[in-house]
Structure 1
């Protein structure tokens, strides 16, 4: 696991939430492969590796989890094959290394409720689905939760009922933005989904952005490089235009849930060169 001591009052740790391999063409939309293929590795099936690693934020005496991984025994063999799952979640093992358990999580911050972010919300216990984080408040955008409960003909393929059963009483919805604890704010953007949200972390000397699936990897920095999976791609582009240039000009950081290589990156003011980074330790995995 990688841990970043952001300040005296905030620490980030990436937990092992499992790994998928999704179609590279879908992940880069209309961008031709000769372009995106230079920036992100692809396998013989034209799939790119996408981690699903929850980010544990420890600040103000609270434990906050950003998204929840792909869970365990939640996907069928067909789904595992289609989504290129080569490893399921090891959240319990990751938390144990930090002398924590699922019961110690105070807040779960859901950027959105697609399966690869939400499968870790529930677990099976005595043949019933129960909350994986029973003591947590689960924060999600109002529209996102509504679609999770009543998906349409397209979104039902990623908003699984098994990821909401047993957690209904823990849900806290918001509309524009919400500061969950001091310095940790969820902000609605839409784009990838109608209720998609991003995360802003603020400390004494750093501002850190998690743009979730409107910039799932470092290779998606270009504001026009958006996913074919996006329900509202122009909203994704507008959100990236609103946040990325200003953040790079101000020397702010970006963190990732999906990136195979980078946990955190700081670009130069033009967004051309990486000037600092926290890389994932890929040894012994």
Structure 2
């Protein structure tokens, strides 16, 4: 299990599942000869995308970023279409840390697409129940509203079975929300209308989780955005706002989807300065 220590806070990556999606869709209009130099691709033009929640232990709160894809949440057709090769081992990884799902106090959902939210519910005796029964779940008001009332495009990723079990646990915000001192969520839009990012400031360090504005380290170019983005120009403007200043200030960047890196710190000139690699 990979970890990053930030003063007295521990950050751990938990195994939430693996998907393989079309590389062209993940890099939009960027030609394959360019992006394939930076990110491994298979002979089906698919790239590996982890769905690994990030656990922050502050000493007072256990805070989870995203939830993984869960277990037994997909049909055979969906498993095939989404290239799911592994489901969640989150509970096993929590056990290694001396925790259970009941010990999670807060969950930060940058958005509610199926590959981020499916781990929040599980089937028990034929009924869906919340996995993290004691947690408050934060997301943007826009995202929560669209989750429950998807449009013709977003209904393919916002599923009723993913929001109904957690309905009573969700709290929303509009522009920004300080969750606990040092951890703030900001609405950005772009990837989805309600998409948010997370900024962590602690022990003299700043860490950014740009979520699906920068799902992998290979997306560290302002113009490299996803064909999946609902509002690509918003993604670009938000990357201009957060990515380049973060690199210039040598902030840490945390990843949920990246198959190679858990976290990266680039130098002011854009060279790799420090990193946490995923254990293979």
TM bucket by the smaller chain?
A: over 0.9
Contact 1:122 1:165 in 2 (8 A): no
Counterpart of 1:94? 93
Counterpart of 1:4? 4
Counterpart of 1:277? 275
Matched, 1:211 2:210: yes
Q: How does 1:81-160 map to 2 (within 5 A)?
A: 81-160=80-159
Query: Aligned with 1:166: secondary structure?
Result: helix
Counterpart of 1:187? 186
Counterpart of 2:236? 237
Query: Aligned with 2:67: secondary structure?
Result: coil
Cα deviations by residue, 1:64-105 (Å, 9 ceiling, x for unpaired) = 000000111111111111111000011110111111011000
Counterpart of 1:64? 63
After TM superposition, the score normalised by the length of structure 2 is: 0.99
Cα deviations by residue, 1:148-169 (Å, 9 ceiling, x for unpaired) = 0011111111011111112111
Structure 1: 5+ residue stretches without partners = none
Structure 2: 5+ residue stretches without partners = none
Cα deviations by residue, 1:13-70 (Å, 9 ceiling, x for unpaired) = 0000000000000000000000001000000110000000000011141000000001
Aligned partners of 1:266 and 1:169: how far apart in 2? 37
Matched, 1:196 2:195: yes
Aligned partners of 1:163 and 1:180: how far apart in 2? 23
Contact 2:6 2:203 in 1 (8 A): no
Moved over 3 A (4+): none
Shift of 1:204: 2.2
Query: Aligned with 2:152: secondary structure?
Result: coil
Shift of 1:270: 2.4
Shift of 1:123: 0.8
Shift of 1:7: 1.0
Shift of 1:3: 1.2
Contact 1:70 1:119 in 2 (8 A): yes
Contact 2:111 2:139 in 1 (8 A): yes
Aligned partners of 2:115 and 2:103: how far apart in 1? 22
Aligned partners of 1:251 and 1:28: how far apart in 2? 25
Query: Aligned with 2:171: secondary structure?
Result: strand
Shift of 1:126: 1.6
Aligned partners of 2:201 and 2:162: how far apart in 1? 30
Cα deviations by residue, 1:204-255 (Å, 9 ceiling, x for unpaired) = 2110000000000000000000000000000000000001111111111101
